[in-house]
Amino acid sequence: MSEVRRDILTDTWVIVQTETTEIPLNHRTPRKPPSVCPFCVGNESQTPSEIFAIRAENTLPNQPGWQVRVVPNKKPVLRIEGELSRVGVGIHDKVSGIGANEVIIETPEHIKSLHTLSAKQISLVLKAYRARIIDLYKDKRFRYVMVFKDYGALAGASTIEHSHSQLIALPATPQQIKSELSGARAYFEYKERCIFCDIIANELEDRSRVILENNLFVVLAPYASRFPFELLVFPKRHAFSFEMVTAEEITNLGEVLKQIMQALYDTLSDPPYNYVLHTAPNLLPQRDYWTTIRDDFHWHLEIIPRIKRTDGFEWGSGFFINPVAPETVASKLKEKL
């Protein structure tokens, strides 16, 4: 069982796997991928039983016929079984390792890269994200569901190359999300407007960092980008939670991601990357939790190519050094669209 421990200084939470004895040596010889891919159609018996699937009518769970399939992670960092408890350890805080860790298998075909999926297939993946967030937020033990994708060894991807993403349901709201929530709330209290809506409006007026825009979404390189080719994808319609995304927006976002991931592939020669969905925390566990969140927060998707290593100065100071200006990023990616 894992423990979720709080750093008293930074208010960040760390998942400590107390029963693990294996020492990771990722800087040495990389592990080989499995000889048979457990995520391919026909190999459903090699994964845990599916939690959710988008599949053809009259097909059975854990059998072929699916288009997107969600299964528990075989080695979850948090487990769904058990009671949530919060205890003090001296001056420190600890929460029992309750949560969920699920794998979203994005296609039945053995395809490695998201950009090679059709826009329609990417939309089905987004539909699965939404369904799982809605379901997990019914559980009061979970404060936040983080949906993310790791692509490439330098981005922390597993040895299974079949295109997939993950989600982790957490018993505490991550500090980075808290910082966004706090900043958004402070801005709203001062100006009575959503800071994200104002950023979108400003960027659309300026245009120098806008990469892609259609009637529902905008993709931009943030003004203070921490990493080269860091991107943000925003819905134009104000919505505080990804749960609120409409069928039309899901279809449209699939098309946007297809285009932008292809542009990154073409520009950076298949870079490793992470993307993370930033959505609202679960409002069910606490009454009056983030009381203005419906007005001040705006869900979005963050895409970070891992083409530059973080050095000691950046880790120690929290100041990032970005060698590629966001205006240059926007210009180069627009050439590929």
State the catalytic residues. Answer: 164
Do 64 and 108 meet the contact criterion of CB atoms below 8 Å apart? yes
Give CA–CA dist 34/106, Å, rounded.
18
Sign of the dihedral through C-alpha 182, 187, 192, 195: negative
Q: Which tokens sit at 102?
A: 């699920």
SS3 5: strand
Write the DSSP string, 43-55: -GGGSPPPSEEEE
β-pair partners for 167: 102, 147
SS3 114: helix
312, exposed or middle or buried, with CB in 10 Å at 0-12, 13-18, 19+? exposed
Q: How many of the other CB atoms lie within 10 Å of CB of 7?
A: 12
